Structures are given as C-alpha cells and as structure tokens.
Amino acid sequence: MTAGYKELKVRAWRFTKKFDGRPGFGLGDARAYLSAVIDLFVAGQGLKYTEALSEALDYAEKLLEKSGKDGVVKDYYRVYEDWLRLDRSKLSTRLLDVEPVRQQPSGDSSGLTVVSLFTGAYGLDLGFELEGFEVTVALDISRDSYLNLKANRPKIPFLLGDIAQFKTSDILKEAGLRPGEVDVVTGGPPCQPFSPAGKRQSLRDPRAAPLMDFIRVIKEARPKVFVMEEVPGILSARIKHVPIRERGKRPLLPEEEPGSAWRVVLQELKKTGYRVAWRVLNAADYGTPQVR
C-alpha cells in the first residue's frame, strides 16, 4: 500500500468511528455512506479509487464539521438516491493503488520470532511475516494445512498432529529456540465448541481441549507476547447448558450462565502471568470486504 492510502484509511476509520453506537445510523451506515460517496466521485469524475477516497473524505469531514451527524444522516439519503442511478459500467474499471501481497518473504527481517500453533491456512501468521517477523515453526492437525505450508513456505518446520501429542520442549526444539526466547506465540484454537453454527458444547466439548493446550504452551514457552484468535461466540458460551424443560423455574447455576466458559478461559489465561487484553474486532474495519 502507498503511504497516502494508509493515511486515508486511518482518516476513514476515524470518520466512521464517530458514528459507532449511534441509534439509527451506526458505524456500518457511515461506512456505506462513505463508500457511496467514493463511487460517485469515481463514476462522476473518473478518479482512481485512492483519489476518490481522498475527495470523499474531504467532503464528508467538512459536512460533519458544518452540519454535525444529523447533517451526514440527511445527506446519506440524497447520496443513496444518486448512487442507485449510477452507471455501474463506470465502476467496473475502478482501480485501487495498493501494493500486492508478497508471495514470498521480502527478506527484511525484524529479528523477531513467531511460533505458530493451529496454523491453518497461515493467514494470521502471514500478517506477522509481512511485518518482518520470522515464523520458526508451524503446527496443525490438518494435512491440508501441512500441504499448503509446504507448497508456499517449504523451509518452515511443520509439526503435523494433535497439539496434545507434542511437548512444549519439542515445539521449541523444532523452532531452534528455548523458553523465554520466543517473541510471539500465535494461534486460533478450534472454534466449533463456541460457535453459534455448531452445538456449542463449550468446554465440555473434546475439541475445546486444544485451547487448554495452547495455554499450556504459553506457560511453558514464555513468549514475550501471545495472540489468540477465537469466535465471538466464546463470550456467551456456557460451561453447561441445561434445557428449560429440565431446569424448570430454578435460577441458573454459575456454570449455566451465559459467558461462564469465557470467564474460565480468561481466568486460565491470566494464570499464565501475562497481562491479558481482549476485544471483538470486525474484519470490515481493516479493509476486508465482509462483516466477520
């Protein structure tokens, strides 16, 4: 990405963030408004995307300063009507001035190391790699994950199997590191026990065991930082679910309350001795065209 584009994305984030939590016109509506204004500049003036983004931000920020949030909301409906009448063919050639993702590491290393657990498609680790981190070892139970990494990053050692089968010392040996030498441990333990798309058996689900193994590796490897990714459903998951027809009118027990599973996980994470900070992130706020 060009420096100009990065700066514009920060401005766009600051603009839309002002509407976060506003009843009737929230952050998502502000993003849609800004996107529509960009399209109007692209179609109306033939601008490239970055140029149109700059013009759209100038327009939206001045309107916000002059007329406030209500003025932006009012203008949204006018912009939307104009957007509906746009000649879509003029948007099909819309160009975005960004640097393509590198297919191989640039060689510009920061000297910082990553131990990748639950590597999957390597998406989380790719972000670290592009910032100069060195992924020293990868681990996953999926053969597809193994084949993917070996095809794209053949030099990275890969441990194929259940994390429970590997001692932390074995993982560090493959990485060529000792406890305390790891800079970052990354991982996204299986989400099925906590996902609304599944049965949500929470910590009683055997698939939740890898999460505890992730915590075990953190305790023993002693990285400077760890990054764990999970689905938002973990925040509302219960340790134990009892159907209403069985529970009757009695109050919920502590382990039956929504969020009881996350409280246990958070407690275990804090027992590692690390300062734990968590939040729900929306990929749409970071340039991904999906709400996830």
Active-site entry in 191, 228, 234, 261: 191
Dist CA 102 CA 203 (whole Å)? 39
Dist CA 52 CA 75 (whole Å)? 18
Name all contacts of 19-28 with Cβ < 8 Å and 24+ positions apart: 19/69, 19/72, 22/69, 24/73, 25/69, 25/72, 25/73, 25/76, 28/284, 28/291
Is 4 one of the annotated active-site residues of the chain? Answer: no
What is the pairing mode between strands 184-187 and 113-117? parallel
* Contact predicate 138/163, CB 8 Å: no
Helices (H), the chain: 3-17, 27-45, 49-84, 123-130, 143-152, 168-175, 209-221, 244-247, 260-271
- Specify the DSSP class assigned to residue 10: H
Catalytically active residues are 191
